[in-house]
Structure 1
């Protein structure tokens, strides 16, 4: 199973939803919090090209945010990506 990394914020409802979906699938992930850490948010923005959280990577694939993660799930493509 590829490494899953999620940049998140404690107060972000989209972060919570994304983590809930991953947890419901039994996926372990590395969470990197950006709260009060402008250098970490800048690192995330440089990698993702976006400043909003969450930003999610599955292996080398940048999934995007919560809506992108749920879109993969609805399309039936998330499980395959998690097993790649």
Structure 2
């Protein structure tokens, strides 16, 4: 099973969409709220180079944000990443 980390905040609609897609795949993930966890936003920026949420990592591979996750799904590549 893939190790998934999703950086988010509580009000982001794109975070909700990304979580809905992962939930529909039955994927378990660790969600880190960048507003609630001290230092989490800085950690996310250091890991991803991006400041917006969500930022999604699958097995330490930076997938990107919500649009990137859905693009992988549309290309048929998300299932393989989740299975690795």
* Bin of the TM-score, shorter chain as denominator length: over 0.9
C-alpha deviation, 1:35, in angstroms: 1.3
Q: What residue ranges of structure 1 are gaps of 5+ in the alignment? A: none
Partner-residue secondary structure (3-state), 1:27: coil
Match of 2:71 in 1: 71
Q: What TM-score do you get using the length of structure 1 for normalisation?
A: 0.95
Q: What are the ranges of 5 or more consecutive residues in structure 2 without an aligned counterpart?
A: none
Given the superposition, is the C-alpha separation of residues 38 and 50 from structure 1 closer, same or farther in structure 2, using an over 3 Å criterion?
Answer: farther
TM-score between the two structures when normalised by the length of structure 2: 0.95
**1:46 corresponds to:** 46
Name the SS of the counterpart of 2:6 in structure 1.
strand
Match of 1:8 in 2: 8
Give the number of aligned pairs: 84
**Aligned-partner Cα distance in 2 for 1:60–1:38:** 21
SS in 2 for 1:68: helix
